[in-house]
Structure 1
Amino acid sequence: MTKSLTALFGGTFDPIHYGHLLPAVALVEEVKLSQVSLLPNHIPPHKTQPEASTYQRIEMLKLAIADYPMLSIDMREMSQSRLDRPSYTIETLQAWRMENGDQPGLAFILGQDSLLSLPTWNNWQTLLNYCHLLICRRPGYAENSDNPQLKDWIERHQTKNIDDLHTHPNGFIYFANTPLENISATEIREKISNGKSCETLLPPKVWQYIQAEHLYGT
């Protein structure tokens, strides 16, 4: 049995919202994670560039997790050596595994939408060499992939047994029963730019920061 199972949760977090936070907290309880580290991307290869600055996104993360002791921030993709090129998940996971050695259980949290897009990722089929994948369901996304290669890969590695995540350092895909939060950062930015309040979608301190910094058209 490994001493602990920790997870990384990557994202642009532009801004961070309850659609990120509530599933992460639910995963801690369901899978018995010792820690979830939020991993802000510098240059996400599959998304448009963030509207908020790197500094502003980090400040919002700090405000958002202040009341969640099980959450932390991992700044590795913000390191100076990686600021001039896209952040590839496989490189992050390789470095993370190297730092932790062979035995600890490591997991990477993905939304269902990201799982279905995996075949577009760099070296996606090697992700499980370094960690487990914890999949959070997303409203409006199919349970199964139309891609035969991805579908076969998921079926070969899927487990419904949480013990597998704790007794093996990597190699499994687990579909979690996290809350279906129909919230997106794109929707939040659009609402704010149209003068609508988003205070129910974000932690209060994050909403106050967005207003104070005049982010997203406030």
Structure 2
Amino acid sequence: MSLKLIGVFGGTFNPIHYGHIKLAQAWKSFASLSKVLFIPSGLAPHKNIVLENKHRLEMLNLALKPYAGFLTDDREIKKYENDLQASYTIETLKRLTQEKEENQALCFLMGSDAFLKLESWHLWNELFNYCHILIVERRESPIHSDQLTPDLKKEWNKRLTQKIEDIETSAYGLIMVKQFEYTDVSSSQIRNAIHLHKNLIQLVPEVIADYININQLYR
């Protein structure tokens, strides 16, 4: 039985940019994802969030509005605002698993840089019990097995597939890597551009550039 695939895309989105959007578009098209949930972190264990939650959420909503099936999910922000606890991907995936239908499977989207650091994530090896991991790989720096630690390499060798049919017929536990043409942008690059008073139009949707300027963000 072919499962309906749901994309899960976590991050600080500080701010949302074309790199995020193009990565999600590429996987949504290739894997026929029924939807993609963009889940901004409340308090990210790995990063210092420098922007108020309300602004990150509003920019996500503005940026995703033109894209069918792209949805903002604010559960991690609400969790932080309620109990001031850090957000962990494993906890979010557990909750999403409880909420999804039996004929659905979760696919966590990430870039290759994030995957190479996966062992620093809380309970990282349990992620595979709740989702597939779909990785966008840079053409100029593909993932090589010698870059992986022994434990991560073990999971890589056991779970890697090149067939989307494997993803569609398994509830969780697989890894797939693809190279797509997408905009290689980072949020830090955007913040630096703002400090240097550079034009943001090539980096973020116009509505986001306007929002940043109107609200004098990252100044």
Give the TM-score of the pair, scaled to structure 1: 0.93
Give the equivalent residue in structure 1 for 2:20: 20
TM-score, normalised relative to structure 2? 0.93
Q: Which residue of 2 aligns with 1:159?
A: 161
Task: Look up the match of 2:191.
Answer: 189
**Structure 1 equivalent of residue 67 of structure 2:** 68
Post-superposition offset of 1:179: 2.2
1:108 correspondence with 2:108: yes
Q: What is the number of equivalent residue pairs in this alignment?
A: 216
Deviation at 1:74, TM superposition (A): 1.0
Structure 1 residues not aligned, in runs of 5+: none
- SS of the residue aligned with 2:213? helix
Is 1:77 the equivalent of 2:76?
A: yes
Counterpart of 2:55 in structure 1 is 56
Deviation of residue 177 (structure 1)? 2.7
| Pairing 1:86–2:80 present | no
SS in structure 2 opposite 1:47? coil
CA distance in 1, matches of 2:54, 2:215: 12
Q: Give the Cα separation in 2 of the matches to 1:13 and 1:55.
A: 12
Residue in 1 that maps onto 2:177: 175
Aligned counterpart, 1:204: 206
Query: What is residue 39 of structure 2 aligned with on the other side?
Result: 39
Aligned equivalents of 1:126 and 1:31: distance in 2?
23
Are 1:139 and 1:181, in contact at CA under 8 Å, matched by a contact in 2? no
Alpha-carbon contact 2:12-2:40 (below 8 Å) kept: yes
Is the partner of 2:184 in helix, strand or coil?
Answer: coil
2:79 and 2:88 map into 1 onto residues whose CA distance is 15
Residues in 2 aligned to 1:180 and 1:104: alpha-carbon distance in whole angstroms: 27
CA distance in 1, matches of 2:3, 2:152: 31
Is the contact between residue 109 and residue 135 of structure 1 (CA under 8 Å) also seen in structure 2?
A: yes
Deviation per residue, 1:129-168 (Å, 9 max, x gap): 0011111124765512231211121111011110111111
Contact 1:42 1:83 in 2 (8 A): no
- Counterpart CA distance in 2 for 1:116 and 1:102 is 31
Q: Supply the RMSD in Å over aligned alpha carbons.
A: 1.6
Q: Partners of 1:55 and 1:203 in 2: how far apart?
A: 18
- 2:6 paired residue number: 6
> What whole-Å deviation, never above 9, does each CA across 1:39-88 have from its counterpart, x for those lacking one?
10011111122x22100001100110111012111111122465501111
2:185·2:203 contact (CA, 8 Å) conserved in 1? yes
Q: For the residues of structure 2 that align with 1:152 and 1:105, how far apart are their CA atoms?
A: 23
Q: Which secondary structure does the structure 2 equivalent of 1:79 belong to?
A: helix
Percent identity between matched residues is 35
Which amino acid counterpart does residue 132 of structure 2 have in structure 1?
H
Show structure 2 runs of 5+ residues with no match: none
